[in-house]
Amino acid sequence: MRPHQKLDLWRRAIDFVVAVYRLTEHFPKEEKFGLTSQMRRASVSVAANIAEGAARTSVKEFMQFLSHSQGSASEVDTELLIAFRLGYVANKDYRNLCQDVDDIGRMITRLSQSLKRKEI
């Protein structure tokens, strides 16, 4: 098993990517290169940065990739709000995905704090 595959955070992020892909399948066709593409890219970036960081040899590098992952989570959170306000996302789906982003963000923060303690 690869290092990132052992992380609950990474598995949660992968589930989130799948949820975003399924949600955006129903967006208007004119959003294919707009919000659909942006939301998918940002959600994939959350999981990909976790995986890339876990593969690094230094704690400092891992923490840097977790920071990038946190930024991508904030990006997709913003894009979710825009999609919701445009009427592309139902209230229930919006609340569920926002909760997922919040949970992932907290998990990233906890892992970063844990790594920082090990680095000291």
Q: What is the pLDDT of residues 29-81, one digit of tens each?
A: 999 999 999 999 999 999 999 999 999 989 999 999 999 999 999 999 999 99
76 and 67 Cβ atoms separated by less than 8 Å: no
- Whole-number pLDDT of residue 119: 67
Helix, strand, coil percentages for the chain (3-state, nearest 5): 85, 0, 15
pLDDT at 3 over 90: no
Q: What is the DSSP string of 65-108?
A: HHHHHHHHHHHHHHHHHHHHHTT-S-HHHHHHHHHHHHHHHHHH
pLDDT at 120 over 60: no
88 and 29 Cβ atoms separated by less than 8 Å: no
- Nearest-angstrom CA–CA distance, 8 and 53: 14
Angle at the Cα of 106 (from 104 to 107), degrees rounded to 5? Answer: 60
The model's confidence at residue 5, banded by pLDDT at 50, 70 and 90, is confident
Over residues 16-30, mean pLDDT:
97
- Nearest-angstrom CA–CA distance, 105 and 87: 25
Identify the burial level of 10 via C-beta atoms within 10 angstroms of its C-beta, where 0-12 means exposed, 13-18 middle and 19 or more buried. Answer: buried
